[in-house]
Amino acid sequence: MLKRPDQFKGLVTLHPDLQRIVDNLEIVVVGKHRLMEYMVTAMLAGGHVLLDDVPGVGKTTIAKTLAKSTGLEYRRIQCTPDLLPSDITGVTIFHPGTHQFEFQPGPIFTHLVLADEINRTSPRSQSALLEVMEESQVTVDGITHPMSLPFLVVATQNPIEYEGTFPLPESQLDRFLFRLTIGYPGVEEESKILAQSQARSQVDTLSAVMSRERILQLMAESAAIHVTDSIRRYIAEIAFATRKSPHLYLGLSPRGSIALYHAAQAWALLHNRSYVIPDDIIELAPHVVEHRLIVSRTTASQSRERVHEVFNDIIHAIPVPSTSS
């Protein structure tokens, strides 16, 4: 039986700087400590997050709160069927006075962008995010425009509403580091939320607890976290097992393996370690891997639950390396 990292929740000390971000997030987002850790991990790893949950549980609030807590520039794109790719990336405009073309950046040119209800816009507009999510750059009219780092896309979608939506293709899902659900609050948490609703918006009262420069430093520290050969092999064995599983039509790609590797480094830094341990992989793998897999002979409505079952069996069958190896 695998030893789950959440057995030790409450005994782990977070990195002091990153603890301040998590604490700030929890002023607004009540009762979702682990989710806040995932959001900070994605930022450190330079990855993107898909928040896949029902309306009204705080998906938009989480993105706004993270931007406010880190002092990052924030923009929101409301995805609709008539949204054009140029509405996201920007356009080149000719100025008669100067007889020159000038690029007008779109809302994607920011540090943290919320793509709200991403599955409500057309595949053509969804694909406008592919290059920028993978390479942190946008190419318009043959000219490449780099993004200012850090750059994080937080996309939301409603998993139970299909009418008038365009499901994200596998190539798009593969660009997201995490696919996360929020879930409903418990009674105590919802009572606290109701008490907060009587006052001014909690997000508006927040102050940044970290500078952009410090975030970039921490991202560099994350990339330098030590990963042993046995941990690398563990990730490779997980990927190989998904590709060989008779229950999966599509297994984990090398991009997915790299994503899990970088996520584990960021998770280790968040938890104030200079090295990755197997528990980091066990904790993060479902959120990094499962949305990249496709099960065989299963309907769309059943696929997510079935993927979880298949991947759970796979990861339990792989020997966990020792922390000393």
Going by the DSSP 8-state scheme, the letter that residue 169 receives in this structure is P
Bridge partners of residue 51, in order along the sequence: 156, 180
Q: Which among 275, 176, 298 is positioned nearest to 228, based on CA atoms? A: 275
Are the CB atoms for 290 and 307 separated by under 8 Å? yes
Residue 4: predicted pLDDT: 46
Are the CB atoms for 248 and 310 separated by under 8 Å? yes
Helices marked H in the chain: 16-28, 33-45, 59-70, 85-89, 123-127, 130-135, 170-173, 187-196, 202-205, 212-223, 229-244, 254-270, 278-289, 300-317
Residue 198: predicted pLDDT: 64
pLDDT in tens, the chain (325 residues): 344 444 444 456 899 999 999 999 999 998 999 999 999 999 999 999 999 988 888 899 999 999 999 999 999 999 999 999 999 999 888 888 787 888 899 999 999 999 999 999 999 999 999 989 999 999 888 889 999 999 999 999 988 777 778 889 888 999 999 999 998 989 998 898 888 876 556 787 888 999 999 999 999 999 999 999 999 999 999 999 999 999 998 999 999 999 999 999 999 999 999 999 999 999 999 999 999 999 886 545 457 788 999 999 999 999 999 865 5
Can you tell me the distance from the alpha carbon of 220 to that of 266, in angstroms, rounded to the nearest whole number?
Answer: 10
Q: Which among 200, 195, 216, 90 is positioned nearest to 152, based on CA atoms? A: 216
Cβ neighbour number for residue 6 with a 10 Å cutoff: 11
**For 1-215, which CATH superfamily applies?**
P-loop containing nucleotide triphosphate hydrolases (3.40.50.300)
Cβ neighbour number for residue 91 with a 10 Å cutoff: 16
**Structure tokens given for 174:** 């593969």
**Structure tokens given for 263:** 């996520």
Task: Using DSSP bridges, classify how beta strands 248-250 and 294-295 pair: parallel, antiparallel or unpaired.
Answer: antiparallel
Can you tell me the distance from the alpha carbon of 78 to that of 97, in angstroms, rounded to the nearest whole number?
Answer: 33
CATH placement of domain 224-325 = 1.10.8.80
Please give the C-alpha separations between residue 296 and each of 183, 245, 249, 263, 300, in angstroms, as whole numbers.
27, 10, 5, 27, 11
Instruction: For the chain, give every residue range classified as CATH 1.10.8.80.
Output: 224-325
User: Which residues, including other chains, have CB under 8 Å from residue 98's CB and lie 6 or more apart?
Assistant: none
Residue 6: predicted pLDDT: 46
Instruction: For the chain, give every residue range classified as CATH 3.40.50.300.
Output: 1-215
Can you tell me the distance from the alpha carbon of 175 to that of 50, in angstroms, rounded to the nearest whole number?
Answer: 10
| Cα dihedral 34→37→43→49 (10° resolution) | 0
